Structure 1
């Protein structure tokens, strides 16, 4: 599972309970924190340990100034992480930014576009054909988006012994 949030603490107050539940079940979770939150990096490291987050990557973008970041910059950084980590689930802010925070909104759209690029990188996998790619199985046509009021969850289907198992957290954010 990959979390992509604008600031340190966004992951804790939005999906912290869900993250703790899934890490408690053995899921490997990583976090991209787009800004360093001006001094809150120590907080997020502590919270990450409590929640069971395996790795936190800071993109060190300007806190409160993401609207000035060149279009495509965040998307490229996020998709690079997705291609290396190959998450089954990606969770980020919703399109309203929860509080209309411009940094949250920018990260939502950057993550959405990064996810689209990420699934394009799986093009060699034929639609409806289950193939081995990286560390997991994917069924390309099953890449889709769930959204609720608090976050957007991107998932892809994976197979186990020939049947499709959905890594879906709809409504649990």
Structure 2
């Protein structure tokens, strides 16, 4: 009898909730297929804005307890997605959320962007050496939408993932986002405002190399998004329609696929499967 080891997928994300927002359906899909899925989170997300009014005192400029609260949210989200191997880069609390561009949190001595780049690369390299993933996923060079921690996660991963078969950058499809937003415009009781043209970060579809069908895993993705209740609000109706919003109150569509750009490795077989064509 020949025993075949399961494929191994490792995803590097900046904050709790990013794993669900950017790649939740993909994680749920490959977990359900029996792949070994490892999620690495670089910070605790201490600088995030808080949606529920009752939790406002957790913010960084008040009790500064949001990071610990988001650890619990992340654990629930990972359970919803089928993840059993989650790790914090450098250990829990090693590096802090740097906040958006131009805020005071950028100057915090423990901010991810102020940490030793070499130490961060070494920490991720150690995880990669332990897990031995064939495929690694992170953000593109712009971090998806310009957040300093997303950009640093991209840089760390690019430097550390030198001996894996493939590296992908998670992106959002312009066509799918625009079609999803148009569908939301037909909903009369949506609780948030619709996105303005060009307001949501998207990637031109001509640049997208890989489309992962997550239609059978949307329930898991939505459950994971609901777990991040300080950061994400989820709306659903009885007709199967769904949307979510961050603290900015902009409605975002829940689309049927997640999208990637192949950054390293062979392209053959990768159009609809992160592992397609790999031995």
TM-score (norm 1): 0.71
The CA deviation at 1:27 is 0.8
SS at match of 2:16: coil
The CA deviation at 1:149 is 3.0
1:29 aligns with 2:37: yes
2:97 aligned to 60, 63, 74, which one?
Answer: 63
- In structure 2, relative to structure 1, the CA distance for the partners of 1:25 and 1:144 (3 Å cut) is closer
Structure 1 runs not aligned, ≥5 long = 120-139, 158-163
Please state which structure has a larger fraction of its residues in strand. Answer: 1
Q: Which residue of 2 aligns with 1:89?
A: 135
Q: Which residue of 2 aligns with 1:8?
A: 16
Q: Which residue of 2 aligns with 1:41?
A: 71
- In structure 2, relative to structure 1, the CA distance for the partners of 1:45 and 1:78 (3 Å cut) is same
Q: Using the alignment, how far apart are the partners of 2:135 and 2:263 within structure 1?
A: 6
Q: Using the alignment, how far apart are the partners of 1:168 and 1:63 within structure 2?
A: 32
Structure 2 runs not aligned, ≥5 long = 1-8, 46-66, 99-110, 173-259
In the alignment of these two chains, the number of paired residues is 140
Q: Using the alignment, how far apart are the partners of 2:34 and 2:79 within structure 1?
A: 14
* Cα deviation digits, residues 92-143 of structure 1 (max 9, x gap): 1221111100000001110110012xx2xxxxxxxxxxxxxxxxxxxx8xx3
Rg larger for: 2
- In structure 2, relative to structure 1, the CA distance for the partners of 1:79 and 1:154 (3 Å cut) is farther
- Root-mean-square deviation (Å): 2.6
